[in-house]
Amino acid sequence: MFETPPLWFITHACFYKYLISIRYSTGASSNPCSDTFCGYSPESEIEVKNVADFIRRNKSIIKAYITVHSYSQLLLFPYSYTFELAATHSELLKVAEGASAALRSLYGTRYTSGPGAATIYPAAGGSDDWAYDLGVKYSYTFELRDTGRYGFLLPESQIKPTCEETMLAVKYIAAYVQKNLY
């Protein structure tokens, strides 16, 4: 395996759901004080604009996209803005379930896998949906530990184990993508 993912395997950590395209409006708020604030316009935040521009410029070599959030112990994939299943739903689910099994192998932590809207709730602005619709076939969102006891305030003692087990899942996805380039 490799220590550092190659360029085609872009990992993007974000902590908020940003409205990347106007059509992703389900569940978003126009209130700037809301946790689900969608921004003043698509890609209005410079960080989102820069990542989106980078992905658009390099989409021919980006084969996977992973975004990391907390919390809920989920491994989600498109779609979250609609209940419609992605064209490659079966393969995305197979990979997600394999990655979840790899993650579980270290500490027994259980993740639920599935499309965002059906697995938790419809939500706008997911960058995995946007990347998938742009042509990045393997697009996933990790919702890390825990399931609600600590929520966003995960104890320090759980941070390293969360990183270790999540890396096993990321490596699983990377290995699968390497064997199934498109």
Instruction: List, for residues 137-172, the tens digit of each pLDDT value.
Output: 999 999 999 999 999 899 999 999 999 999 999 999
Instruction: List, for residues 99-118, the tens digit of each pLDDT value.
Output: 999 999 999 999 999 999 99
Domain parsing of the chain, residue ranges: 46-179
Beta strands 9-13 and 138-144, pairing class:
unpaired
97 is catalytic: no
Taking phi over 0 as left and psi of -120 to 50 as alpha, with beta for the rest, 39 belongs to left
**pLDDT of amino acid 44:** 85
**pLDDT of amino acid 1:** 41
What's the rounded mean pLDDT across residues 18-45? 69
**Are the C-beta atoms of 51 and 12 separated by less than 8 Å?**
yes
The SS3 of residue 28 is coil
Model confidence at 3: pLDDT above 50: no
H or E stretch at 112: strand 112-115
Reported confidence tier of residue 33, pLDDT bands at 50, 70, 90: confident
- Distance CA(170)–CA(140), nearest Å, equals 10
**pLDDT of amino acid 29:** 77
**Are the C-beta atoms of 76 and 128 separated by less than 8 Å?**
yes
- Distance CA(72)–CA(147), nearest Å, equals 4
Instruction: List, for residues 56-86, the tens digit of each pLDDT value.
Output: 999 999 999 999 999 999 999 999 999 999 9
Structure tokens that stand for 135 in this block: 């042509």
What's the rounded mean pLDDT across residues 44-62? 93
* Of the candidate ranges 45-49, 110-114, 139-143, 175-179, the one whose mean pLDDT is the lowest: 45-49
Task: Count CB neighbours of 126 within 10 A.
Answer: 28
Model confidence at 25: pLDDT above 70: no
* Of the candidate ranges 17-31, 89-103, 151-165, the one whose mean pLDDT is the lowest: 17-31
HSE-CB at 83 with a 13 A cutoff on CA atoms is 2
Query: What is the second-level CATH architecture of the domain 46-179?
Result: 3-Layer(aba) Sandwich (3.40)
Model confidence at 4: pLDDT above 70: no
**Are the C-beta atoms of 141 and 126 separated by less than 8 Å?**
yes
Give the C-alpha distances (Å, rounded to integers) separating 32 from 35, 101, 120.
8, 38, 23
Sequence-ordered list of residues with C-beta below 8 angstroms from that of 13, at least 6 positions apart, any chain: 67, 68
The SS3 of residue 175 is helix
Q: What percent of the chain has pLDDT over 70?
A: 85
Catalytic residue among 143, 156, 164, 165: 143
